[in-house]
Amino acid sequence: MSDTTLTLDPDTMDPNALASLGEGHVAYIRAMRSEEVKRLFPQAPDLTPGLDLFAVLSASGAPILLTDSRDAAFANAWAHDLQALSVH
């Protein structure tokens, strides 16, 4: 039986390779305020300040979806066969 364990050292990995780990398999759910939206979603319309929102991000951090419901964010990730993880 062969050992298939893979050891990854973030200090020696190419930054692009590190950022793409989990791409197509993992989505991050991040709570955010409406004032932060333009940083991740530059084309988003102006939003009312003070709204609690949830962003679905790819493993590399690319924005996928913005919603006002945590449940909808997780459901969207699961609907696309992505393992959803909460980011604080």
Q: Residue 46 carries which DSSP code?
A: P
In the predicted structure, residue 1 carries a pLDDT above the cut 60: no
- pTM beyond 0.85, yes or no: no
- Residues 42-79 pLDDT 10s: 888 999 999 999 999 988 888 999 999 999 999 999 99
Distance CA 75, CA 14 (A): 32
Distance CA 59, CA 67 (A): 18
First to last CA, the chain: 40
Number of neighbouring beta carbons within 10 Å of residue 47:
17
Residue 6: the pLDDT is 61
Distance CA 51, CA 49 (A): 6
- Residues 12-33 pLDDT 10s: 766 665 555 556 568 899 999 9
Residue 22: the pLDDT is 55
